[in-house]
Structure 1
Amino acid sequence: MKRMKRKNLKTTALCLLASSFLLTGCKTVINVTVEGSSTGNGITVDYGKDTAEVKTAETMDAPDTTGWDSSKKIYAYCWDTDFENKLNVVLDHYPQYKDYVEIVVTGQSGTSYEYKTTIDTAFANGSKYPSIIAADNDVAKLWSEDSSKTIALNKIGITDEMYANSYNFSKQYGTYDGDITCMTWQACPGVFTYRADIAEEVFGTSDPDKIQSILKDWDSFFEAADKLKEKGYYIVSGYDDIKYAVLDSQEHPWVSNVDGLETLSLDDSVTEYLELAKRLYDGGYVDKASSLWSSTWSANMSENGNVFGYFGCPWFFGSMKDLGAEEGAWNCCVGPASYHWGGTYVMAGKNSTNPELQAFLIYELCCDPDVAYDIAVEYGDCVNNKAANEKLIKEGAGTAAVLKDQNPTQTLTDAALNIDLSNVSYADSSIKGYIDIAAKGYLNGTFPTETAAVNYIKQQAQIELGLVVK
């Protein structure tokens, strides 16, 4: 069964605000024109409410290399050295496989058309066939939901029980037609990171639990913003700091199949983001010169800045340090909403020359708690493994330099339990690009009303993505 029916891929160069510290300025996004169904047979899996319970996970035996020759070599594709580093942790555990794996780092943007072309060309020509493909969560579904290129992981021996200690949101993202078609080693839960000294001055405490009670929902967030404003502080740097936290409250998919047609149906998370962004901007709660990844946004992190906090995620702690945030001056709490920011998913090419090794490497990277623990300690990832995170919390490992006497792992994992990615579609990244432009236009007057801003999003989705608009 082919898991999707997508064709007529096209691209447009769309200038988006970057979604990770590795990307700044313009970001080339793969836009997809769709004919027919992308929802396959419509089989869904309800993973229920997530908990921190560590389960007894099934394991996979390491394959025996006896009799292997050069024909058993496989190729793993990625766009930068992050995935390379993490897969090398696996190979350090199992050095007997190093001669049978070549990691191809393309050096392209992970969300670019160039990266997609490189992968698809490798699929087509066969000389260095992609047995393992790493893809940003913005675009991974373009492969994970295409059975002409990738294969459901249970078909190569990676069972759901092996992935039992992953967070539900990663399984929601990776499940298509009832099967897990991609996995990730990293959890990228979002939290709210704040200046401890400003918290003490304005709220009389910097304790994460107490600050969480102050920022527990959006109404409380704006009450706190009023108190900060009275003292001369912005609650966040720019209006768009909140976008990931708000848009992850999606109540239904933005793209679904209606009578055989790919149809756009925006939910209230879009209008809520526009409303909250305008409230921040017009109310003087943010620096109007700031936007995500701008020089002003970065400068506001310094010890001389007047910004209370930033929405961020595990990799963001390192980004803050690189951008000049003072070490040991910050704390973090879950904040007003659970959300994710970023993430890399791993898929299996359907015609691997060595499916045994292909499966084992994906299993080790995404399911083995010992590998996950080592990745967390060495690279600072919040890993997608509850057993590893339980150990990290008990040992006090996994600290971040910018945080003041706080191990973020407990806060990050608390946030991870409430993330819901069950409504994500392959087109969301492009739609969020239109939302970015609409929000900016709504605030600067290009779009005089919220309705005009929403109509722009719908128009672009119809023109660029070929979606039917409700």
Structure 2
Amino acid sequence: MFRKIFVGLLVMLFAFTLVACNDTTGGVGLESEGDTLVIRVWNDEFIGRFRDYYPGYVKTNQDGTDVLDDGTVVKWIKVANDNNAYQIALDTALANQSSAAANDKIDMFLIEADYATKYANDLYAMDVVNELKIKESALADQYQYTKDIVTDKDGVLRAVSWQATPGLFAYRADLAREVLGTDDPVQVQSMINTWAKFDGVAAQMKAKTYKMLSGYDDAFRAFSNSISQKWVDANNNVVFDQQILNWIKQTKAYSTAGYNNGNGLWSDGWQSDQGINGDVFGFFYSTWGINFTLLGNSLSDPDAPKAPGNGLFGEYRVVQGPASYYWGGTWIVGAKGTDNPSLVRDIMLKLTANPHIAEQITRDTEDYTNNKTAMTKIANDETYGSAFLGGQNHIALFTSAAQNIDMSNASPYDQGLNEGIQTAMKDYFAGTSTFAEAYTRFKEIISEKYPELVLPATLQEPA
């Protein structure tokens, strides 16, 4: 009798061991998962990354949904980021998460730097390590700042990113040769490595009928993302860091002197200025901006081969510029209440923690991925160069700049405040309103968007 019991226990132990060895969920759960994965995004960037580099992707249906190799259907819900629209829609969906039908529940959603801290908490986001069972060692090669900004007050990691986003200054080599006598990045950097020198080159460009920048907002991130304090303090007071005031002062001076074209960020004029018919020397861009935006805007014919002769392809270069900064970045969040935790985990691991996939994304797209080993490898690869940037190895510059990124002063209100100050100051820069009137407009925008915040009654015009 004892022998039968003993043999039975051995059989049960063997069966348990077999299941454990074949469990690819990492302990997320062995229960059946949902047959639809719902992902909320604000543009097509991550959709493209997912379809091109997630190993489980099979095809895209005519209705825009994707099919994975296990039969799961991926449903994308896209809402534009402008004017907090993405956040508003996301907030509504998350509020209804517990009562939503299984195929309507949010499984994953994306967040960006300007509001990452708003969602990186236990109200909305799964614990990456303890709930999704992703080991800290699997994320050890990611840039620390990409983890710090989505780590909550209790030290819990709530999201992961496939990219790091140090910023650079992209300039036209043809205008550099004409005005500065060289297009060499080392020499150009020495000419604009401080804001005072940058101003001097702006005057040189104006003398040759060119503009230093396209519009009012071009340099904003180079100032706003190197602030020394949060936009909002612990008592909900809006605080104007000196860097914000410096941006206002410089932009007013540039607008008055004719150093820019008065365009708004993302406007048709701003995009046109990046092409062959533009008269603008350069643009502040982070990693995604160069390959995702500037390249496309520089082409005369988007359907023609990306090669010299097609617009300004090959006629841009990049340098650090007068300031270290970052701009943007996208994080993947596993939504609380998802019925697909194992799939969420697998996507996170494959697209943010696999060095081979990270390296391939960078080599294919020139994006800067969140893997220090892969980026260092490409930075030191003497055969690597961007054809768009005239053969320059911009990854080497990004690798150096990434070490200086500090997101410790990010706040949940950054998107609204950043957009609000840029919107409110436009008439002041254009000369159609006073500074006091522009500040009153800013107070109106922020009071409507964030009624809980307290703004200074007045603000002194930077001089």
Question: Normalization by structure 2: what TM-score?
Answer: 0.78
Aligned to 2:259: 285
- Whether 1:368 aligns to 2:354 is yes
Is 1:465–2:439 an aligned residue pair? no
* Residue 442 (str. 1) matches residue 428 (str. 2): yes
Q: Distance in 2 between matches of 1:440 and 1:244?
A: 16
Q: Secondary structure at the match of 2:229?
A: coil
Matched AA of 2:333:
M
Relative to 1, partners in 2 of residues 1:98 and 1:367: Cα closer, same or farther, differing over 3 Å? same
Q: 1:372 to 1:76 in 2, by over 3 A?
A: farther
Q: Distance in 2 between matches of 1:97 and 1:300?
A: 41
**Cα distance change, pair 68–158 in 1 and its aligned pair in 2 (3 A):** closer
Letter of the aligned partner of 1:244 in structure 2?
Answer: R
Which residue of 51, 71, 96 maps to 2:33? 71
8 A contact 2:113–2:410 mirrored in 1: no
Q: Secondary structure at the match of 2:163?
A: coil
1:228 match: secondary structure: helix
SS of residue paired to 1:135: strand
On the 8 A contact 1:168/1:417 being kept in 2, the answer is no
**3-state SS in 1 of match to 2:161:** coil
Q: Which runs of 4+ in 1 moved over 6 A?
A: 93-97
Maintained 8 Å contact 2:97/2:337: no
Offset from partner CA, 1:403-457 (integer Å, 9 cap, x none): 11212211222222222211111111011121012221221345423x5544543
Aligned partner of 2:199 in structure 1 is 222
Mapped partners of 2:206, 2:315: distance in 1: 20
Aligned partner of residue 277 in structure 1, secondary structure: helix
The verdict on how the C-alpha distance between 1:78 and 1:397 changes in structure 2, with shifts beyond 3 A counting, is farther
Q: Is the 8 A contact 1:218 1:336 kept in 2?
A: yes
Per-residue CA deviations over 1:189-236 (Å, capped at 9, x if unaligned) read 221111112212222221112211211121111011122222222111
Name the CA shift for 1:62/1:203 in 2 (closer, same or farther; >3 Å). farther
Counterpart residue number, 2:113? 137
Q: Does residue 276 of the first structure (1) align with residue 254 of the second (2)?
A: no
The separation in 2 between residues aligned to 1:437 and 1:386, in whole angstroms, is 37
Secondary structure in 2 matching 1:155: coil
Aligned CA RMSD, in angstroms, stands at 2.9
What does 1:72-87 correspond to in 2, within 5 Å? 73=35, 75-79=37-41, 80-87=43-50
Q: Is the 8 A contact 1:76 1:101 kept in 2?
A: no
- The corresponding residue for 1:106 is 77
Give the whole-Å Cα distance in 2 for the aligned partners of 1:273 and 1:160. 39
- Which consecutive residues of structure 2, in runs of 5 or more, have no partner in the other structure? 1-22, 59-66, 300-310, 457-463
TM-score by length of 1: 0.77
Contact between 1:376 and 1:398, CA under 8 Å: does it hold in 2? no
**Among the aligned pairs, what percent are the same residue?**
28
How many residue pairs align between the two structures? Answer: 403
Q: Which moved further from structure 2: 363-372 or 91-100?
A: 91-100
Bigger drift between 119-128 and 240-249 goes to 119-128
Contact 1:264 1:461 in 2 (8 A): no
Is the contact between residue 193 and residue 311 of structure 1 (CA under 8 Å) also seen in structure 2? yes
Alignment partners' CA distance in 2, 1:296 and 1:132:
35
Distance 2:180 2:205 in 1: 9
* 2:159–2:332 CA contact under 8 A, matched in 1: yes
